[in-house]
A and B are shown apart, each in its own frame.
Chain A
Amino acid sequence: MASIEGTILDFKRLDQLARGGTSLHRIDARAKVLVALVFILSVVSFDRYALTALFPFFLYPVVILALGNLPADYFVKKVVLFLPFALAVGMLNPLFDREVVVRVGSFGVTGGWVSCASILVRAILTVSAALLLVGVTGFPEICRALERLGVPQTFAVQLLFLYRYIFVLTEEGARSSRARELRSFGGKGLGIKSYGSLVGHLLLRTWMRADRIHMAMLARGFTGAFHARHPSRFGGKETLFLLGWSTLFLVLRLRNVSQLLGSLVTGTFP
């Protein structure tokens, strides 16, 4: 539990980064959320064998990383953590799809390998886009932006609470797990059975905590509506940001820029 908290759910660091003061941080969260959404949609809508056409899209994470003054190594490490999941999805493609699509000298590359690589590249692009979005916006701001973009309030508030209590819950889980470990003396303890009641207790405790939080909210006049603070404006800068990036993604989506560049260099325009 503690290791999960330490690695994948290292939101605390992301949260700190999100409070940076670059001009990118100051752009209205809605524009950033929409741009990230257009980016992800463009990337995932490519044909399964697309590979070269995906590379120009790396421009976006690189620019955001630079403009947001974010530590590249931190984000690379986070993205790498997600790669095994993408690999698990694409792993079997080379076995099923054995048709040779590209020949490099005498070596034939099958469609399976190309689509597997495509899945990996897409995973890197989409995961880094999502992480960077949190890194320059902050999770609470994203929730609020979603709400202002028309996502039902209940859903946005759920996300907000999930984010607030994920720390409390992981800590509680880690404590229970430690208590079990300390009394099982290196052995398996009571095996899987003890985990059953451990998770059950965690659920009940979470339930009771939810009850107490609700109590605290009622005590302060909660009536079911969350009120937004300092409504930021969706102005010219935001429109420019949104239109600029969206146009770029659209062009990159419809024209294979890598290939165009390649043909320019080799002088063989199609």
Chain B
Amino acid sequence: MSHHLVEAVHLRHVYPDGTVALRDVSFRITHGESVAVIGANGAGKSTLLLHLNGYLTPTSGVVRVGDQSFTKKTLPEIRRRVGMVFQDPDDQLFMPTVYEDVAFGPVNLGLSTAEVEARVREALERVGAAHLRDRPPYRLSGGEKKRVAIATVLSMAPDILVMDEPTNGLDPFARRRIIELLKDFHHTRIFTSHDLDMVLELCERTIVLHEGEVRADGPTGEIFRNEGLLAECSLEKPLSMQGCPVCGSSGKQEAEGG
């Protein structure tokens, strides 16, 4: 179980141009947790995510996945275990067809042809995109692209799923489909998002980043009820927790229970 653990200890990152993106970030995410990392633009969310699969190296501090810290030797294994879905699916889908894109990871893992085929089929079925397998990526709609991008990561059988803005730029129906899909996963999940209603639905725990530091870390419902905290971090209550602008009735009750 311990290999589903993600931990950051006094993580600090300074970009070469002197921008301090992360000042001091510590947290520990354990097996099966679904955690949202929220914060204003420039709070350091994306920088943090890029540390989780070793694309960026900390200026100081440590990141651990499972019980391993990042070394040249553990990096390939960690990258397999941490499935990362980027914000813009066009960056993630670079092969000529959907099939080849989903197969890219498994092939790089050195799996046999039959195994690759099985993994691709399973991953595409999981996200409801089996019928798209021979299409080139530029022929997909935004929602389809997003689902295929998730499949490219699922085919590597990751333990931990990291997603940057999963619902960004999707129409309400496509957004709903992605949320339902993500609800079904039992991986350890880490999301960054500005879609706080999605966070409320998917994540029991929320980490609030503010100017490169962890400003709050706790149950999602509790954090969203703390209006002072939200205002300080340029955030706002999810719409479903705000009063109805038409009839004036108060927002969602389930969140009140925490």
Could you tell me which A residues sit within 8 Å of B by CB distance?
12, 15, 19, 138-140, 160-161, 163-165, 167-168, 209, 212-213, 215-223, 227, 229-230
Contacts and interface: CB of A to CB of B under 8 A. Distances in A.
Contacts of A163: 96
24 contacts: A19-B134, A138-B96, A139-B96, A163-B96, A168-B90, A209-B91, A212-B88, A215-B50, A215-B55, A215-B86, A216-B86, A217-B94, A217-B104, A219-B55, A219-B83, A220-B108, A220-B156, A221-B79, A221-B80, A221-B109, A222-B108, A227-B108, A229-B107, A230-B113
Interface in B80-107: 80, 82-84, 86, 88, 90-92, 94-97, 99-100, 103-105, 107
Nearest to A165: B94
Contacts, number: 72
Nearest to A228: B107
B228 interface: no
Contact of A216 (B91, B97, B99, B113): B91
Given A221-B109, A229-B100, A229-B103, A216 B94 contact: yes
The binding surface of chain A is classed by DSSP as: helix
B9 to A, nearest CB: 23
Contact of B92 (A12, A165, A216): A216
Given A19-B134, A209-B91, A218 B152 contact: no
B136 to A, nearest CB: 6
B79 A218 contact: yes
B109 to A, nearest CB: 6
Interface in B127-146: 134, 136-139
A229 B104 CA distance: 10
Contacts of B138: 12, 164, 167-168
Contacts of A218: 55, 79
Contact of B96 (A140, A215, A222, A223): A140
The binding surface of chain B is classed by DSSP as helix
B34 interface: no
Contacts of B48: none
B53 A219 contact: yes
Contacts of A222: 104, 108
B153 interface: yes
Most chain B beta carbons < 10 A, residue from A160, A163, A167, A219: A219
A219 B153 CA distance: 9
B55 A220 contact: no
Interface string B198-209: 000000000000
B76 interface: yes
| Most interface-central of B53, B86, B94 (chain A CB within 10 A) | B94
Contacts of A12: 138-139
A220 B137 contact: no
Interface size classification for chain B? 35 or more
Q: Which 4 A-B pairs have the closest CB atoms?
A: A221-B108, A140-B96, A220-B105, A212-B91
Contacts of B103: 229
A49 B108 CA distance: 53
B50 A221 contact: no
Contacts of A15: 136
Contacts of A229: 99-100, 103, 107
A247 to B, nearest CB: 33
Contact of A220 (B50, B139, B152): B152
Given A160-B96, A219-B153, 19 more contacts: A19-B134, A140-B96, A164-B94, A164-B95, A164-B138, A167-B138, A217-B104, A218-B79, A219-B53, A219-B79, A219-B83, A220-B104, A221-B79, A221-B80, A222-B108, A223-B76, A223-B108, A227-B108, A229-B103
A179 to B, nearest CB: 18
Nearest to B87: A212
B159 to A, nearest CB: 14
A134 B82 CA distance: 38
Contact of A227 (B53, B92, B107): B107
A164 B156 contact: no
Nearest to A138: B96
Contacts of B76: 221, 223
Contacts of B79: 218-221
Query: By CB atoms of chain A within 10 A, which of B99, B103, B107, B156 has the most?
Result: B107
A176 B136 CA distance: 25
A154 B80 CA distance: 24
B244 to A, nearest CB: 38
